[in-house]
Structure 1
């Protein structure tokens, strides 16, 4: 029996949804409420994280919706001119990921009938496009059977920074094409449970079992299945997003948003759908080695940037940068010479109106100090 060659072209009846929210407060002062990290070219590659996400999804999706805040809609439109007005869903206020994804599902179903949709964050980095394509295509196939499907990231170590997906039994065999006499291996597993970010010892124990994957928040599901689960688990949200979607492409959009949106429960999709549906046996995971990164702080960002010959990582600056006794230093932005002496793994970030000095080990704590500075100075709060 021969192996089916990798498919090409958009997945029939598949839409991509890109929630573009959050501030990235650990990346202050680069990322703020008025210029969140998904709108930034953090890797110096000429494409923002949002643009790179759409580049990755364009070969796969027949339709794409970006869900973002009203204050960022114009910037999103400017960065993605080919998306068009109908491809941007602007939220009047943050209601967490479930409301954003549910509204997108309801709009898509209103426009196209029940279809398969995939939700992918706007600020992740994926280096292996081919592996991503294959994982999304398999997830879409499994989703057609009625499962909620998540793409599980093959862990590279016992990280405390991510949630975990526990896999169970493999889904049945292969997807065979009787007419062509070919078969493609199915790698999906049933999901037993989702676990929030564990401590180091628990994460290490997870990895020893070989059953756990990192949870990157990628979900693929039929729109009618998603909204059907919401009917049972979050009925107010289900009816609310359907009512907004019914008015979305007409003159009643603003009124529906003003009246209904503030009443929707503020909850993440993990808690609203993934966890309870997994407990009922309704979730599957497609494992994938994507070379995936969530740029959560300056330490993780530095790990994605090539250092100079002296080991210093420099981004978005052309002024002199010198170190002595400061291995692993990271210097971003600024129009002045920077000298670092005797501070290993130092981080210096100059955004023009704010200056951050920390270390890579303390990078996770940036959000605490930056919040106080923003509140005291009148800058945009992270």
Structure 2
């Protein structure tokens, strides 16, 4: 049996604003340790006793592709990154992954995991996966139900049926149930038959494709056409846009899992109980729950000081944050926004994000520090007709050959060596050297060295927006 890890990396995580933003969502953030949630998900089968295929399949959108590729590279993981031209929910994403996994007649067992969950007990997780894999190999559609420790109204539930006679914990999958009210949730937990819906699944690739053919032929056809016409670009598999846009939107639950009782010949549904400290980290209070705390129940990340404070989470990204006399609060500081909320109101953060979007404010979608395939930049100051950026270019990387209609630029090298194209001249700049790029000049910045190149860029002109770029050459196909 071969297990193919499939990571679904969609979603914007608006309830974890201001750390999570549309262009850099929560799965790319290191919220619980040194790894991002995506990286932690990719490590989840490290040391697993079964046969796990080396290449992880990640399904994502165009916006995150280079950050995902870099995060996998940093941890020494090989990945095939499938790019969706548009969001169509989890069922089409899994279908694209199943088609890729089936190339050359392969038929692995797919382990499908959202990229933004926290699972601290890996031994318990891998034990459940081993049990689920045996059922999946035999043709079942497996989901994993989280053993509830409270009557939670924010999760969907799975109702389990009769025990499966294999001497282990798996049970027949009876039904998926929508998020309940408080009284119903209490009844569910008391009954012992209900588990939280984790969104983690296992099945053979061929079984999933057969089920999509049966239950949603339009989705199957659109995904097949998109992959038949897909293009390969470095680590990326680009599904064809025109074909994929015709694909209906649906979740794995609705598209297949809930319909299995009507098509027993496709395979039965199985639910494996999972008790491994799981959390979907849907809001700041959920992150506080799964984080290590001090004796007063406080969680601090970054440069944080607590005084007469309890039950509080403070996340500081760019400066010292001192919390004095707080109780059950969440404070999140980033270079361009600070959010303060009571833990009982953290679900309302999405309302702030909606207001920011309605007002067209950049804090809804992007951070001050913006990642690019060649490195990153941080807009450290701006005013009327000027902007100052700190730019870091990775070793061997280079920006596009480009031109601006409305601004000139001054570049000052702080660290490393810069290869500069300025009009028809190409030359090197060392630390403490600078150059001037006049308005309208074709130019490029590259790092020919072995260490990161860091420069300060001062822009001046009548318009300084990122859309004032005319690209002539770009190795990243933008």
- Say yes or no: TM over 0.5: yes
Q: 1:269 to 1:373 in 2, by over 3 A?
A: same
The CA distance in 2 between the partners of 1:206 and 1:337, in whole Å, is 42
Partner of 1:23: 12
8 Å contact kept, 1:67–1:104: yes
8 Å contact kept, 2:161–2:171: yes
CA deviation map 1:283-342 (0-9, x unaligned): 1111121121111111111122223344432112x25x3444x5322211141443444x
Partner of 2:365: 381
Aligned residue runs from structure 1 range 7-22, under 5 A: 12-22=1-11
Deviation at 1:214, TM superposition (A): 0.9
The CA distance in 1 between the partners of 2:175 and 2:321, in whole Å, is 51
Aligned residue runs from structure 1 range 238-317, under 5 A: 238-248=220-230, 257-278=240-261, 280=263, 282-316=268-302
Of 195, 198, 201, which aligns to 1:213? 195
Partner of 2:156: 163
Q: 1:379 to 1:117 in 2, by over 3 A?
A: same
1:355 partnered with 2:365: no
Q: 1:53 to 1:243 in 2, by over 3 A?
A: same
Q: 1:111 to 1:368 in 2, by over 3 A?
A: farther
Partner of 1:46: 34
Report the 3-state secondary structure (helix = DSSP H, G, I; strand = E; otherwise coil) of the residue aligned with 1:328. Answer: coil
Q: CA RMSD in A?
A: 2.2
CA deviation map 1:253-296 (0-9, x unaligned): 98961221111111111111111124655311111211211111
8 Å contact kept, 1:247–1:256: yes
Of 68, 73, 80, which aligns to 2:65? 73
More helix by proportion, 1 or 2? 1
8 Å contact kept, 2:225–2:244: no
Deviation at 1:366, TM superposition (A): 0.7
Unaligned runs of 5+ in 2: 367-478
1:148 partnered with 2:148: no
1:366 partnered with 2:346: no
Partner of 2:179: 197
Deviation at 1:153, TM superposition (A): 1.2
The CA distance in 2 between the partners of 1:208 and 1:105, in whole Å, is 38
Q: Which has the higher Rg, Structure 1 or Structure 2? A: 2
Deviation at 1:362, TM superposition (A): 0.2
Deviation at 1:235, TM superposition (A): 0.3
Partner of 1:138: 131
CA deviation map 1:160-211 (0-9, x unaligned): 121111111122x23xxxxxxxxxx332111110001111111111122211
Deviation at 1:38, TM superposition (A): 0.7
TM-score (norm 2): 0.70
The CA distance in 2 between the partners of 1:158 and 1:204, in whole Å, is 5
Which range moves more in the overlay, 139-148 or 26-35? 139-148
The CA distance in 2 between the partners of 1:293 and 1:354, in whole Å, is 26
Report the 3-state secondary structure (helix = DSSP H, G, I; strand = E; otherwise coil) of the residue aligned with 1:358. Answer: strand
TM-score (norm 1): 0.86
Q: 1:168 to 1:148 in 2, by over 3 A?
A: same
CA deviation map 1:130-164 (0-9, x unaligned): 22112111111111222211011111111112111
Deviation at 1:368, TM superposition (A): 0.9
Report the 3-state secondary structure (helix = DSSP H, G, I; strand = E; otherwise coil) of the residue aligned with 2:118. Answer: strand
Residues paired across the two proteins, number: 353
Report the 3-state secondary structure (helix = DSSP H, G, I; strand = E; otherwise coil) of the residue aligned with 2:365. Answer: coil
Of 106, 115, 123, which aligns to 2:116? 123
8 Å contact kept, 2:84–2:238: no
The CA distance in 2 between the partners of 1:311 and 1:220, in whole Å, is 37
CA deviation map 1:342-374 (0-9, x unaligned): x53122111110111111000111111122124
The CA distance in 2 between the partners of 1:329 and 1:73, in whole Å, is 34
Deviation at 1:243, TM superposition (A): 2.5
8 Å contact kept, 2:5–2:110: yes
8 Å contact kept, 1:77–1:83: no
Deviation at 1:213, TM superposition (A): 1.0
1:338 partnered with 2:322: yes
CA deviation map 1:215-270 (0-9, x unaligned): 1011101111111111111101112222233344669x989612211111111111
Q: 1:279 to 1:128 in 2, by over 3 A?
A: farther
Task: Choose between structure 1 and 2 for higher RCO, CA contacts under 8 A separated by at least 6 residues.
Answer: 1
